[in-house]
Structure 1
Amino acid sequence: MFSVRGVFGHLKEMRHYIALSVVVLLAGMVVGGSNQALDTFIQGQMSSLKQMANTIEASNNPTLFFILFIFFNNAIKSILVMYLGIFFGIVPIIFLAINGMMIGYLISKAYEQGGDVLFTLIVKGLLPHGILEIPAIIIACAYGLKFGRVMFQGVGSLVLRRPGWGQTFEAFIMRSIPAMLLIIIMLIVAAVIESTFTVWLLSK
């Protein structure tokens, strides 16, 4: 169950859910980058993050605290979104849409400023850690969507009185555990990169 080959083999089986997660994230980016009506909502989300960043910056060891904050923030949300998919996959969709809107909003604002701001945001601010962080979030949401389908199957089995759903549920939970560990590892590395290398790049 915990073999590397087994984990990546199951990710291959999850490709349709991963693709759907990517589509929802991209749709959120389009909405966030083009809908000015969402400006207040997204500004509120960004303001909360800025306040937390300022608090950490004033600490005795800001780099360490940034790593811990970024990791635990992303890890807790990713694990929650995997298993809150139990509510028929609604939570992962909302989570992807909101994150997509925030990314789209940032890209849109950077584009409006002109110059090399957009390049700096994407290449220096997002890409170094995002190459691990975004796939980790997408994988987590894909499992959340899969969990939603498992629950729909459970309702169908209950209504139609078909046996065997318990084994399907158990199999999903067992397969989600190695994926969760992979996500945690990816997010640890991403948090270290974001708190060190990304910060260094943006300072140049």
Structure 2
Amino acid sequence: MNNLIRQFRLMKHYFIASALVFALAVVLGAGFSDQFHGFIESQLKGLEQITKSIAGKEHPQWSLFWLIFLNNAIKSVVIIALGAAFGILPLFFLIVNGLILGYVGTISTQKESLWFFLKAIIPHGIIEIPAIIFACAFGLRLGVLMLKLVTSVISPERSVKYKEELRGFAKAIVPVILILVISLTAAALIESTFTFWLVNH
């Protein structure tokens, strides 16, 4: 528990940085939707096809729950692991998701209304978005630790220090994943039930 608390304290700047990157991407996606149209639409096409296939099932809400949960949970865990590549992929994941949210927000507001967009995002988004930022922040920190480790090969003292930091980080991963799974389960339940109901009424 002490190690987990320590890791969370060390994560402060990574949480802030991840949130800022995501927020900036949302602003860019919303403000420059025309410029990002092609890229974002290509990202959304696959999701649209899956959603259509779910709509025809006997219990679409449960199918939607499992789709959302597995998609987000797997991606969150993978994005932490892929952070080992010097944090590049978590950063990319933050930017892409932020761009998509900003873009979808603009398009939804234009086609429907701001209220429609908010009720489609806020109920589950208040859990899901922080969880994604949380996962990416851990991925970024892993990337920074790996970078430190690589650059410390010429200094045995630093190498020992960074290896110890990496061990502490690794010990915290299981509780972190548990937190993510619980959060994303709650978000998926809300999105597949309450949000689903809201956008259809």
The TM-score normalised by the length of structure 2 is 0.92
* SS of residue matched to 1:172: helix
Distance 1:70 1:8, change over 3 A: farther
What is the CA-CA distance between 1:167 and the residue it aligns to? 2.0
Q: Which runs of 4+ in 1 moved over 4 A?
A: 5-9
Where structure 1 has 5 or more consecutive residues not aligned to the other structure, the ranges are: none
Equivalent residue in structure 2 for 1:200, among 192, 197, 200:
197
The yes-or-no answer on 1:75 pairing with 2:73 is: yes
Structure 1: distance between partners of 2:194 and 2:51: 17
* SS of residue matched to 2:83: helix
Query: For this pair of structures, how many residues does the alignment match?
Result: 198
Structure 1: distance between partners of 2:84 and 2:28: 26
Of stretches 95-104 and 53-62 in structure 1, the one that deviates more from structure 2 is 53-62
Q: Give per-residue Cα distances to partners, 1:122-170, cap 9 Å, x unaligned.
A: 1x10000001100110110010011011111101221323341322221
The TM-score normalised by the length of structure 1 is 0.91
Distance 1:169 1:9, change over 3 A: closer
Structure 2: distance between partners of 1:7 and 1:125: 34
* Aligned residue number for residue 90 of structure 2: 92
Structure 1: distance between partners of 2:191 and 2:197: 9
**Paired amino acid for 2:116:** T
Of stretches 93-102 and 173-182 in structure 1, the one that deviates more from structure 2 is 173-182
What is the CA-CA distance between 1:61 and the residue it aligns to? 2.0
Equivalent residue in structure 2 for 1:47, among 27, 45, 55:
45
Structure 2: distance between partners of 1:137 and 1:195: 18
Equivalent residue in structure 2 for 1:117, among 103, 107, 113:
113
Equivalent residue in structure 2 for 1:185, among 182, 185, 188:
182
* Aligned residue number for residue 23 of structure 2: 26
Percent identical:
36
Structure 2: distance between partners of 1:110 and 1:60: 28
Report the aligned-residue RMSD. Answer: 1.7
* Aligned residue number for residue 141 of structure 1: 136
The yes-or-no answer on 1:175 pairing with 2:172 is: yes
What is the CA-CA distance between 1:9 and the residue it aligns to? 6.0
Distance 1:15 1:48, change over 3 A: same
Of stretches 91-100 and 28-37 in structure 1, the one that deviates more from structure 2 is 28-37
Structure 2: distance between partners of 1:139 and 1:12: 13
Distance 1:178 1:50, change over 3 A: same
Q: Is the 8 A contact 2:7 2:169 kept in 1?
A: no
Structure 1: distance between partners of 2:100 and 2:153: 39
Where structure 2 has 5 or more consecutive residues not aligned to the other structure, the ranges are: none
**Paired amino acid for 1:78:** S
